[in-house]
């Protein structure tokens, strides 16, 4: 199978003014960070990742792969892309769960044999959900991927949710490891305020955003998706406002019912025409 059939260089985000951004985009993609300073939470970890990347400027780091791990929605993919943007790197992205055999190892080896992409930029290979790569628990496959990391000429960033996964035991020692922890509710509230400002919308009170942030439990993408479900097209988001009929289930979060929004998120989001970003954040 040709490499071009399943790997494409990541498309750079548009730098247009907010008013000109694509209306149909999920807000978690529309407002994905393009700079490290925009990544919510975990400032010390972000600094560690930047330090690792800067070692590629002065030479090659001892550990040529960065393993970013943490719960869903903590910003793993956002960190990878923001880091690449700041370094002027071109992201070549693949998802380990899309290819469940040693072909991924071989493709990474091929990509890592050259430093620059076709555009002339230094490339960084981003492999998402590395725990989804079947066969990594096998010693041969694990060692093969470890050898690729040791010999790569290009930076490699791996992401995973669970560092304790046995499949990763042979790889961790060859990677610079950084953990993204759940983002504090207060940080998520400030992020949502900024998004509402760009959308020309306001919250009636901070308690509205606080409930969404508390319900998200450190998952930034979840909070932004919920915010879009209740705020898109509105001028003011009120604590007890009625949502459009189809999106009604999501309103329970704001009305303070005992059941939180978790069980209703997908139904409400689909009814509002809001999609979930493919990439993990």
Q: What is the pLDDT of residues 229-251, one digit of tens each?
A: 999 888 888 766 443 333 333 44
Q: What is the mean pLDDT of the chain?
A: 75
**More confidently predicted of 140 and 224:** 224
Residue 281 pLDDT greater than 60, yes or no: no
**More confidently predicted of 277 and 207:** 207
As a whole number of angstroms, the distance between CA 247 and CA 251 comes to: 7
What DSSP state is assigned to residue 183? P
Give the whole-number percent of the chain exceeding pLDDT 70: 64
Q: What is the pLDDT of residues 255-264, one digit of tens each?
A: 443 233 343 3
Cα–chain center distance at 82 = 10
Q: What is the pLDDT of residues 163-206, one digit of tens each?
A: 887 777 778 889 999 999 999 999 999 999 999 999 999 998 88
Beta strands in the chain (DSSP E): 65-70, 90-95, 123-128, 156-160, 175-180, 202-203, 236-237
Q: What is the pLDDT of residues 14-30, one digit of tens each?
A: 444 444 444 578 999 99
Q: In this structure, is the dihedral angle defined by the CA atoms of residues 143, 149, 150 and 151, taken in order, positive or negative?
A: positive
Give the pLDDT of residue 103: 67
**Which range is most confident: 136-140, 238-242, 276-280?**
238-242
Tokens (6 digits) for 238:
């009120």
Give the pLDDT of residue 133: 66
Alpha carbon separation from 262 to 21, 65, 96, 98, 268 (Å, rounded): 29, 35, 27, 27, 10
Residue 96 pLDDT greater than 80, yes or no: no
């Amino acid at each position: 199978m040709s490499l071009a059939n399943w790997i494409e260089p990541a498309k750079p985000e548009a730098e247009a003014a907010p008013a000109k951004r694509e209306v149909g985009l999920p807000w978690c993609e529309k407002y994905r960070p393009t700079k490290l300073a925009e990544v919510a939470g975990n400032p010390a970890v972000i600094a560690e990742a930047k330090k690792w990347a800067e070692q590629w400027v002065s030479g090659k780091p001892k550990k040529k792969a960065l393993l970013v791990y943490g719960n869903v929605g903590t910003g793993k993919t956002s960190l990878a892309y923001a880091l690449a943007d700041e370094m002027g790197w071109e992201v070549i992205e693949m998802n380990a769960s899309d290819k469940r055999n040693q072909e991924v190892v071989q493709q990474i080896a091929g990509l890592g044999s050259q430093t620059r992409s076709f555009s002339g930029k230094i490339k960084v290979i981003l492999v998402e959900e590395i725990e989804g790569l079947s066969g990594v628990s096998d010693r041969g496959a694990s060692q093969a991927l470890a050898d690729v990391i040791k010999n790569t000429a290009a930076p490699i960033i791996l992401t995973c949710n669970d560092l304790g996964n046995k499949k990763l035991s042979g790889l961790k020692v060859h990677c610079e490891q950084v953990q993204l922890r759940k983002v504090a509710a207060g940080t998520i509230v400030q992020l949502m305020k900024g998004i509402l400002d760009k959308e020309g919308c306001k919250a009636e009170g901070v308690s509205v955003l606080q409930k969404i942030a508390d319900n998200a439990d450190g998952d930034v993408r979840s909070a932004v998706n919920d915010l879009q479900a209740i705020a898109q097209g509105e001028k003011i988001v009120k604590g007890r406002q009625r949502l459009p009929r189809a999106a009604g289930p999501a309103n329970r979060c704001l009305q303070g019912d005992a059941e939180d929004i978790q069980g209703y998120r997908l139904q409400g989001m689909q009814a509002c025409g809001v999609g979930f970003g493919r990439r993990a954040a």
